[in-house]
Every structure is written in C-alpha cells, then in structure tokens.
Amino acid sequence: MKGKYKRINSFAIPLFLNNITALIIGLCDAVIVGRVSTEAFASVTLIANTINSIVGVLGSVSLALNIIGAKLKGKNDEKQLKENMTFHIVLDLIIGIVSFILIAMFSKIFLKNIYHLTDQILKEGIRYLIIFSLSIIINLLLFTNSAYLKIKEKTKYILIGNLTASIINVVLDYILVFGKFGMPKLGMIGNAIGSVIALLVNLLIYAIVIKKEYLIKINKNKFIEIFKETKRISWPIMAQEFLESTLIITIMNSIISSIGLLQVSIYNMVNSIIQIVLMVMYAYGQTSLNFISEDLGKNDIENLKRIPKECEFMALVFYMVFGCIFIIYRRYLASLLSNDTILILEVIRYIPMVIVINIFNLINTILKYSLQAIGKSKWVFNISLLLNMILFIGVFISIRLIGNEIIFEYMGLLIYNFILSIVFKKSIISHWKR
C-alpha cells in the first residue's frame, strides 16, 4: 500500500467506498418502497431505472471534463481548467432543463404506452416521474463537480458528500413514504421528494468544498472551442455507456427471458451480488483515466506506462479478496435477496464461476478507461460494439440449437471479456511503442 501505490489507493479507495455506499443505500431505498405495494415498487423501479439510465449516458460527458481537465492540470493551466468547468456547468443546466421539460410534456404518454400503467398508479407514476426527473439536472451537476474533485485529487469529499446525502435519503424516505413524525403519508411520491432533496444536499456539500473557485467568464468563441473539443471526446464515451449500461443489459435479459423466468431471476440476482465486488474496477478504472490524462499534460511517458499496470494490479488484489469472501458467504447473500430455495441453490452454484469470468471484465474495464484517456474512445467503442454483436448472435444460436441453459450466456461473456482484454492490452502496448 505504500510507495508507488499510495497515491493510486488514496484516489481509488474513496471512489470504491462511494460506489458501495450507493448500492447499499439503493437497496434500502427499494426495501422501503417495496413495503408500500407491489405496484408502487414496480413503478418506482421502472421509472428510476429509466431516469438513471438517461443520467448515466448524459453524465458520461463529465468524463470529457475529467480527461481535458486532468491534462490541463498537468500543464498547470488553471485558467483553461476553470473555463472548461464553467462550460460544463452551463451545459449541464441546458441539458437538464431541456430533459425536464420534455419528460414533463410526455410523461403520461410514456408511462401509459411504454410501461402500460393505468388508473391510480398511472396518476402517481406521472407525479413521481416529473419530480424524480429533477434529479437529471442535479446529477449532471454532481457528475461535473465530482469530475473536478477527481482532477484536484479530492475524492474523499465525493465519499463524504454521497454518504451524507444517502443517509438523508433513507431517513426522508422513511418519514415521507410512511408519514412519520407528523408528516403526510406520500407513498411513492415521498420517495421521489426524498431522493431529490438528498441529491441537493450532496450538491451543496460539493459547492462548499469547491466554493466558486472554478467559475470564470468565457467569451463566445472560447465557448464554441470548448464545445467542439468536448463533443469530440464525449460522444464515443456516451455511446460506450449506452452500449454497456443499457443495450447489453436489455438484449441479454431479452435472450434469457426466452428461456424462462427462473433463469431471468438467477441471472439478475447473480449480477446484483457480483456488482458489489465489481465496484472496485470502476474505482481503479477512473483512477487510471485521471492519472493518465494528467501525466499526458506533463508529458511524463514513463509514468504513463506504469499507471494501467498498477491500477490493474491493485484492482485485482481487492477483487480477489472480496471475491473469495463472497464465494464463502454466497448462500447467506443469496438468502438475503430471496427465500426461494430453488433460486438460492442455482444462484450459489453460479457465483464462483461468474466471479472468475469477471476477472477479465475487470482487466478490460481498466484498460478501457486507460485507452479513453489517451484519445482512443472511438476505437474502443467500435471494437466493443463489434464483439458485442458477435456475443449476442453466438449466445442466441447456442441457446436455440443446443439447449435452454443460462450457462451459454456466461460462457459467451467469458469469451467476450477474454478477447476484449487481450485486444485492449495489445492496443495500449502498441501505443507506447510508437
């Protein structure tokens, strides 16, 4: 942990803990809403997942700020860093406000025709969607401010902000959903209000830490220049986020749903458990992206070559430790999420295999962030898209011709992640040989 890994770990560990906190709080949130009614739980889950997916794609623009800003930090160009930060604040407000207006206008049409909500649950769903869509604006601002904190290597404040807001979220949910301490019983609407207030608290904490140090006036020409640079970097990253967070999940669930509901439950429950362990790869992936971008600004080539390896090593160490713990206690973890004996037995059977498969997922994710930092985002997306198409076709054919077994999906993911990790590794090695 000392020496060369100290800086990496001081940056990555708060991000890892932050991600874990978000998952745990999200689970608590779901438990509270689930006690209202089955319909409320289903509606909140569908709407929240949709909004969060939109936020994930739009919020990936902040990675462009991370890349550009870290390079500018490496060059000691504080003025341009502030200009980029100001641009992103303005962009967040524009995108967020437009998104809110569109959602408010088409909320009824969307919920009625896409999710088939009717009667009272439709009325409540519309109110929930409109209120919760405010989270788009706040989350975009949070992403931008957290990118700035990463650039400044102040990731501990990201953890502090999210942890504080998450606790407030759970408390407010309990009070507003069930009408405690003299407050009206608002049901699922209370969940939306609590979530928005908690996000505002998080943003306030960031604002207190950063203050107004990043705000600076920028002229029209500079605004356009930054916009073009941001667009060039961010669009393949946004496409990558859509591919990984939305398209892959949707298609895989669609393929598995053709097998049966039990297999869908197995696949999603295993993923829910494994996702906790995988948070470490995102933390060290973002660390790699930030440090590489900064060292590019410094033109420190030797350090650039070391960063992906060091991030990969530390991520693997933490992943193997947590992976072993999860394998040992997999029956207990599965029992927390379900009381179905057959489902539990199937889940605990697959967990060890999926943990091994995701070793390659961890490697290619960290390398993906590293390649995005050196300007190969478009190439990363094209390769990922091609291999995903092959994966989908292969899994679909295997299930249709050989048998309705979820094992084919996991074998397909193993091959996909293995090939992708090799391709990414060769790409980054060849880049430094130039």
- Confidence (pLDDT) at 256: 66
Quick one: average pLDDT of 355-364?
Answer: 90
pLDDT over 60 at 404, yes or no: no
End-to-end, the C-alpha distance of the chain in Å comes to 32
pLDDT over 80 at 149, yes or no: yes
For the chain, percent of residues with pLDDT exceeding 70: 85
For the chain, percent of residues with pLDDT exceeding 90: 8
| CA angle at 268 for the pair 38 and 52, rounded to the nearest 5° | 70
Quick one: average pLDDT of 27-37?
Answer: 67
Joined together, the tokens standing for residue 228 give: 């073009």
Q: Give the residue with greater pLDDT, 316 vs 61.
A: 316
- Confidence (pLDDT) at 197: 92
- Confidence (pLDDT) at 115: 64
* 300: DSSP letter: -
- Confidence (pLDDT) at 260: 66
Domain boundaries, given as residue ranges, for the chain? 1-218, 233-434
Quick one: average pLDDT of 212-233?
Answer: 78
Q: How confident is the model at residue 327 (pLDDT cuts 50, 70, 90)?
A: very high
Reported as half-sphere exposure (CB side, CA atoms, 13 A), residue 228 has a value of 6
Q: Give the residue with greater pLDDT, 222 vs 116.
A: 222
- Confidence (pLDDT) at 400: 66
Q: How confident is the model at residue 259 (pLDDT cuts 50, 70, 90)?
A: low
Quick one: average pLDDT of 184-192?
Answer: 82
- Confidence (pLDDT) at 1: 47
Q: How confident is the model at residue 333 (pLDDT cuts 50, 70, 90)?
A: confident
Joined together, the tokens standing for residue 405 give: 């077994």
Q: Give the residue with greater pLDDT, 104 vs 27.
A: 104
| CA angle at 276 for the pair 272 and 280, rounded to the nearest 5° | 145
Give the Å distances, CA to CA, from 404 to 301, 341, 351, 407: 50, 21, 19, 9
Q: Give the residue with greater pLDDT, 264 vs 222.
A: 222
The C-alpha atoms of residue 281 and residue 286 are separated, in whole angstroms, by: 8
- Confidence (pLDDT) at 324: 93
User: For the segment 35-72, what is each residue's pLDDT rounded down to a tens digit?
Assistant: 666 566 666 666 777 777 777 778 788 888 888 888 88
Least confident range from 38-42, 205-209, 287-291: namely: 38-42
